[in-house]
Amino acid sequence: MEKETARSRIDRYLPYLLVLPTFAFVSLFTVWPTLSALYRSFFQQRLNIAKFRTPTFIGLGNYADIFSDPHFHRVLGNTLFYIIGTVPLSILLGFLFAMLVNRKVRNVGLARLAFFHTTILPMVSAATVWMFFFTPGYGLFNTALAALGYSGPQNWTGSPDLALLAVMIVAIWKNAGYYMIFYLAGLQNLPTPLYEAAGLDGANWWQKIWSLTLPLLRRTTLFITTIAFIDAFRTIDHIFVLTSGGPSEASTVLLYYLWQKRFEQLDIGLSSALTVILILVLLVFTITNFRVSEKGEEDV
């Protein structure tokens, strides 16, 4: 009897203990800094202007400045375009790749490696290689396009219409293989007869994917969408290498803008406010996404 109580008491506290290490590290290195950014976002502090060096409380002043700044609107537009352009397409490609390599044929492992290897490469190196590929005239990307009959503009990193597209192409190339992995897992988990029915035979291929495979992979898709969305906000290395956010801000996205405010313009208050905005956007999206994906499940 006594033993029972002891055990149930342990059981009461144990889950908290088990979560504690993760909780502690997340608190210390993610949540606390976020709160500190929130706090600093209510102050004006610009390190490169002597009289604004010490923080002064200005309430929501930084937020007001941000939302009334036409540059910020441009940056938001770019970010939105970047997300709409990269997230669905890389997920779609990830799905296609998964379908292609989820077969029992020879050398399929090599094809998996081919699609996945981009995940391994550091973005800085990959982007620098792409910088060469985008070279007008003889860069491989342009040569390949020309071979396909493309005769449009080639100034990928210098033209205001193409620069954002260029960094998006690199991001899609880099990420699709990562998402493939999750689809592959999902596909292999499908009930075999169903999966075979949705296989690669005959005229109803697309219909079967549409009405069988995709619905069954719904949770995978939501999970990947979340990761892809977060990735789209978090990765800017390729922008540094390829375009420096230019020409004329054409490829400046939210995190790059934040970076400029913080480290080029030394505006602590404004960049803290931007951090808060960035985190809020991600939070709203992710929570909505998880709500949708967890709906109808008994756990959590």
Partner 1 sequence: MTLRKLSALALLVLLLTGMLAACAPKEEAGPVTIQVYYPVAVDAPIAAIFDGYIEKFQEQNPNITVEAVYSGGYGDVKTAIQTTIDGGGEPPALAVMLATDLYDLVNAGYILALDDYIAADEDGAAYMQDFIASFMENSHYDGKTWSIPFQRSAVLMYYNADFFAEAGLEPPDSWAAWGEAGQALTQKDSDEVTRWGIEFPSGWPYWLFQPLAIGNGQNIIGEGDAEVYFDDPKVIEAVQFYIDLSEKYGAMAAGVQSIWGQAPTDLASGQTAMIVHSSGSLNTLLEQADFEVGVMPLPGKTAGTYASVPGGGNLYLFDNIDKVKQDAAWKFIRFLSEPERAADFSIQSGYFASCKGAYETEVMKAYMADNPQVAQARAALDVAGAEFSVQNLGEVRGIFHNYLQQAYNGELSAAEAMAAAQAEADAAMEAFK
Partner 2 sequence: MSNKFRIRAGKLAVSFLTLGLSLLWLTPVFWTLIASLRPADDPLGRGNVWFGYTLTLANYWRAWSMAPFGEYYLNTVSLVLMILGVQLVTVTIAAFAFTYYQFKGKKALFFFILLQMMIPTSALLAPNFSTISKLGLFDTILAIGIPYFGSAFGTFLLRQAFLEVPRDLVDAGTIDGCSWWQLLWHIYLPPSLPTLIAFGLSSVIWHWNEFLWPLIVTNSPNSRPLTTGLVRFTQLGEIGAQWSLLTAATLLVVGPLFIIFLIFQRRFIQSFVHSGLK
Nearer to partner 2, 84 or 113 (CB): 113
Q: How many residues bind partner 2 (CB under 8 A)?
A: 98
Kindly identify the residues of this chain, within the stretch 23-82, that bind partner 2 according to CB under 8 A: 23-26, 28-34, 36-37
Q: Which is nearer to partner 1, 102 or 157 (CB)?
A: 157
Own/partner contacts of 25-33, CB < 8 Å, gap of 24 or more, are none
| CA 61 from centroid of its chain's CA atoms | 29
Does residue 268 interact with partner 1 by CB under 8 A? yes
Map the footprint of partner 1 across residues 39-58, applying CB under 8 A: 47-53
Choices 50-58, 68-76, 115-123, 160-168; region in contact with partner 2 by CB under 8 A: 115-123
Task: Give the H/E segment covering residue 57.
Answer: strand 56-57
The DSSP code for 52 is: G
Q: Show contacts with partner 1 in window 105-134 (CB under 8 A).
A: 128, 131-132
CB of 159 to partner 2, least distance (A): 20
Applying CB under 8 A, among 258, 260, 267, 269 the residue interacting with partner 2 is: 258
Determine the Cα–Cα distance for residues 251 and 256; give it in Å rounded to an integer.
9
Minimum separation from the CB atom of position 239 to partner 2 (A): 12
- The helix (run of H) or strand (run of E) holding residue 269 is helix 268-294
Among partner 1, partner 2, none, partner that 30 touches (CB below 5 to 8 angstroms by kind) = partner 2
Considering CB distances under 5 to 8 angstroms, the limit depending on partner class, which of partner 1, partner 2, none binds residue 32? partner 2
**247 preceded by a cis bond (ω within 30 of 0):** yes
DSSP 184: H
Contact string 88-107 vs partner 2 (x = CB under 8 A): --------xx--xx-x-x--
DSSP for 91-149, please give it.
HHHHHHHHHHHSS--TTHHHHHHHHHHHHHS-HHHHHHHHHHHT-TTT-HHHHHHHHTT
Does the footprint of partner 1 cover residue 61 (CB under 8 A)? no
Minimum distance from CB of 153 to partner 1 (Å)? 8
Q: Is 246 left (phi over 0), alpha (psi -120 to 50) or beta?
A: beta
Check binding of 78 to partner 1 (CB under 8 A): no
Q: Among 34, 119, 143, 244, which residue interacts with partner 1 (rule: CB under 8 A)?
A: 244
Q: Which does 283 bind (CB under 5 to 8 A by kind): partner 2, partner 1, none?
A: partner 2
Give start and end residues of each alpha helix (H) in 29-107.
32-40, 61-67, 70-101
- Is residue 293 within 8 A of residue 219, CB to CB? The reply is yes
Q: Which of 259, 283, 287 is nearest to 272 (CA)?
A: 259
Residues that bind partner 1 (CB under 8 A): 47-53, 128, 131-132, 135-138, 155, 157-160, 163, 242-244, 246-249, 260, 263-266, 268
